[in-house]
Structure 1
């Protein structure tokens, strides 16, 4: 009897976490549209996204800096974080074309370093007994990480198209899920 109560309570809490079907549909349409734009007009769309990112960093930096006067905890960290956000936002907004090249290249470099670290961990895991698959995955991850570090601009360009493909697939999936939620 107690298990039935737990599972019905769990079901109700999961049910409450679900978004209304129309909100999922709207999210799917926006995601699909953004994915298509990234595939059709990658540079223009990326320029707009980077500009929005710069505006976000600027506003977020101002809000974080203003929070110093309201919340006394971590005051030093808030000041540094706020100032960095303001500086990053202003730089992106002043130099949007440079930022459109720099930010995706930075992400490509970050993903390259991350790929190498994950690759090393997979190889160590494979040697310790996780198997040949983990070792092979680690080697592939290291190779891709090195390629991204060697050619970050190519990686950045590929990243835009990968995000576009994920946007299209994710948007279609969300649209289909919204109709499932509606019924």
Structure 2
């Protein structure tokens, strides 16, 4: 009489199909790109980005008489953190073609942040030019994404925020700024406006997710 075959040492019984499917699903859920996609599409992530902008605007406004070096550090840190938020948000786009404007904007923010933090030799003109270019380029990229992607949620509001960024960049680039105090007030006010707009957008995303 043949004996039943015993499993080899170190090997257990094969998991049932349901268990195997759950393991595959768990592997998909833990994929880094999938995690970035879920995180970037979260309204809480958009809320965090808005709070970063608001806090940066408040900090810049409450220290209007600080040195240019302190102002450069505040602006540089804001640009770096905002670039990270935009980088993660780019992976919430379903198609690769929809990601490149947000990814490019994230690169612009990070590079500008590094330039702001590179040393104490910045001038008023350099900081104004740098921030103006960042807002102008990122605003144009955001407006382009809103125009091209007709299925973008809250497309009109996204376009409005991008347009606000374009206007902010043009104002900073065109107005003559001769002192750190003037630059501080201008940048602080624009950051507050942009932060409020992003805050409204974050709650709009939450409403859309709840309806869905």
TM-score (norm. length: structure 1): 0.38
Structure with greater contact order relative to length (CA < 8 Å, sep ≥ 6): 1
Larger radius of gyration: 2
Q: 1 or 2, which has the higher helix percentage?
A: 1
Q: TM-score, normalised by structure 2?
A: 0.33
